[in-house]
Amino acid sequence: MERRYKVGISLGDYNGVGPEVIIKALEDERVFRHCSFVVYGQRSVLSFYAKLIKAQHFNMQEVTDTHKLNPKAVNVINCWNEQTTIEPGQMTADAGLRALQCLEAGVKDLVAGEIDVLVTAPINKSTVNQHQANFKGQTEYVAEAAGSKTNMMLLADDSLRVGLVTNHVSLKDVTGQIDSNLISSKLETLNTTLKRDFMIHKPRIAVLGLNPHAGDNSLLGKEEKEIIAPAVNRAKDKGIYAFGPYPADGFFGAHQYNKFDAVLAMYHDQGLVPFKTLSFGTGVNYTGGLNIVRTSPDHGTAYDIAGKGIAEADSLRNAIFMGVDVVKNRETYKEMTANPVEKVVVDRE
C-alpha cells in the first residue's frame, strides 16, 4: 500500500487568519490523497471559524494522539480546555499563550517522529513573548527544539528560493553578526538543502552584497571584499556553485534571479521584500538544514482581514504540498546515496 504521510498543523494565533486558512486548505479534497492531518489547536475555535466562513466540507474529529488518525477527517488534538473568547483581528495575551501551546505540542510530536511534517500557522511574536521571554520566531523555536545550529530560513515557490544569513535580527545588529565563517556555513546549508530537499543536482547560488551597490568597490563599505567574497571563494573551493556578491537592487531589478536556483541574502528584508513582492500569497517559508520538516505560509496573522472570510489559503496549501515533497525527496536522496558505487581501478599492464 502507498504510504500516507502524517501532516501536523499548529493553529497559530486564533484571532488571526490561521484557523480560516487551515479550514479552507483542508476543504480541498486533493490534500487528502496521500496525507492524514492532525491540527494542534482547539475544536471549538475551528468550529467557530467554520461556521463564520460557512465551510461546507470541513469534517473533523477529536483525537488524543497521532497513532490512530482518521484519513478522511481533520483530526484535532485539543491543546487547551479552558473557555476561549475569540476576537478576530485583536491582539490578546490568551491568543499568544494558546499559539505557543499549539506550537509546543506540534514540535514535540515532530521531533519524536510522530508526524512527518509540521505546518505552522501564523503567530504574533509580541503576544507569545508575554508568555515566553526572548521568543524570536517559529523558525528559531523549531530549530532549537531540533538541536540544530545550521538551520536556515528559506522562502520558496516554484521559481524563486531566497535563503537568509541572519533571520529576525535588528538591522543595526546585522553587520556585527555577519562574518565570513557564518556565510560559508549558510552556503553549505543552502547547497545541501537544495540537493537533498529539492532534488537539484548542481544548484547555482547567487550571493547578495550587504551594502548599496555591493559596496561600490569599497566606497560604501568593505564587507563585500573582506567578508562576503572570501566566503564565496571558499564555497567554490568546496565544489559549491556560488556566485557574487551582487548588488541586491540591480540583481532583482534585472531579473537575474532567473539564472539561479537560489539566492542567499544577508538580512531579513533584503531577501523577503523582493520575494514577497514577486510571490506573496503563494510562497512557503521553509526551515532548511534540519533533520525534521517544517513549513509555514509566507504571510502573518493579517488581523485586518481576520474573520471576514476573505483570506486566501494558497500559501498554506502550498506549505502542505512542499512539506510532503521534501519528505519524499529525502527518502529518494537517501536511497540514491546509501550505496554509492565504489571506484574501481583497473591495472591495464
Indicate if the pLDDT at residue 349 is higher than 60.
no
16-21 average pLDDT score: 98
Residue 243 has pLDDT above 80, yes or no: yes
Q: Above 80 in pLDDT, residue 181?
A: yes
Count how many Cα atoms sit within 13 Å of the Cα of residue 224 in the half-sphere of its side chain.
Answer: 22
CA 38 to mean position of chain CA atoms: 18
Q: What is the per-residue DSSP string for 176-188?
A: HH--HHHHHHHHH
Q: How confident is the model at residue 343 (pLDDT cuts 50, 70, 90)?
A: low
pLDDT digits (tens, 9 = 90+) for 136-180: 999 999 999 999 988 999 999 988 999 999 999 999 999 999 999
The pLDDT, as a whole number, for residue 15 is 98
Gyration radius of the chain's alpha carbons: 21
Question: What is the per-residue pLDDT for 149?
Answer: 83
What does the pLDDT average to over 223-252? 97
Q: What is the pTM of this model?
A: 0.93
- The pLDDT of residue 97 is 98
Q: What is the pLDDT of residue 320?
A: 97
Mean pLDDT of 83-89: 97
Please check whether residue 260 is in contact with residue 204, taking contact to mean a CB–CB distance below 8 angstroms. yes
| DSSP assignment of 19-75 | HHHHHHHHT-GGGGSSEEEEEEE-HHHHHHHHHHTT-SS--EEE-SSSSS--TTSEE
Percent of the chain past pLDDT 90, that is, above it, reads: 89
Distance from C-alpha of 148 to C-alpha of 111, rounded to nearest angstrom: 12
Confidence bin at 108 (pLDDT 50/70/90): very high
Contact assessment for residue 157 and residue 284, using Cβ atoms and an 8 Å cutoff: yes
Residue 345 confidence (pLDDT): 59
How do residues 283-320 score in pLDDT, each as one tens digit?
Answer: 999 999 999 999 999 999 999 999 999 999 999 999 99
SS3 of 156, please? strand
Q: Which residue has better confidence, 347 or 227?
A: 227
Contact yes or no for 35/4 (Cβ under 8 A):
yes
Q: For residue 338, what pLDDT is reported?
A: 85
Name all domains of the chain by residue range, CATH numbers in brackets: 1-148+290-335 (3.40.718.10), 149-287 (3.40.718.10)
**DSSP characters over 65-116:** SSSS--TTSEEEEES--S-----TT---HHHHHHHHHHHHHHHHHHHTTS-S
Mean pLDDT of the residues in the chain: 95
Separation between Cα atoms, residue 317 and residue 83, nearest integer Å: 29
| pLDDT reported for residue 222 | 94
Share of the chain above pLDDT 70, in %: 97
**Does the structure show a pLDDT above 80 at 211?**
yes
Query: What are 323-337's pLDDT values in tens digits?
Result: 999 999 999 999 998
pLDDT for the residue 4: 93
Q: Which residue has the cell 553578526?
A: 177
Nearest-angstrom CA–CA distance, 121 and 99? 9
CA distance 212 to 155: 22
pLDDT(8) > 90: yes
Contact at 8 Å (CB) between 240 and 205?
A: yes
